[in-house]
């Protein structure tokens, strides 16, 4: 069990560990007010909610920046294609 937990911690980024610790503390804070199973479920829901939100916001930041610039003309790459060169090449 301890070994399992260690593996999980290694696989997570530092930011994830902080998130998990925060959610765990929140869960412990909820336990006096409700059945532990509900506190666990709420904590899991919050964890995945934050993960989803963070993933979504990272995706939109990436969308604003684009996937990079075209090596030929310097245009913003969309869907791994240059809007200028790839459309002209067809
Ligand atoms: Zn181009």
For residue 56, report the distance from its CA to the centre of ligand 1, in Å: 28
Mean pLDDT by 10 residues, the chain (90 residues): 56 74 92 91 91 74 65 80 69
Q: How far is the CA of 24 from the centre of ligand 1 (A)?
A: 48
For 68, the 3-state DSSP assignment is coil
pLDDT in tens, 20-43: 899 999 999 999 998 989 999 999
CA distances from 18 to 12, 23, 50, 62 (A): 10, 9, 12, 24
Write down the pLDDT at residue 90.
46
Domain borders along the chain are 2-89
- The helix/strand/coil state of 55 is helix
Which residues touch 67 (CB under 8 Å, ≥6 apart)?
77, 78, 79, 80
- The Å distance, Cα 84 to ligand 1 centre, comes to 5
Rg (CA), the chain: 21
């Amino acid at each position: 069990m301890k070994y399992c937990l260690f593996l999980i911690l290694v696989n997570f980024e530092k930011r994830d560990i902080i998130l998990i610790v925060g959610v765990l503390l929140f869960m412990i804070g909820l336990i006096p007010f409700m059945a532990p199973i509900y506190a666990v479920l709420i904590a899991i829901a919050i964890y995945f909610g934050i993960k989803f939100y963070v993933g979504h916001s990272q995706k939109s930041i990436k969308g604003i920046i684009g996937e990079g610039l075209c090596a030929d003309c310097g245009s913003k790459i969309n869907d791994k294609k240059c809007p200028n060169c790839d459309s002209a090449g067809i």
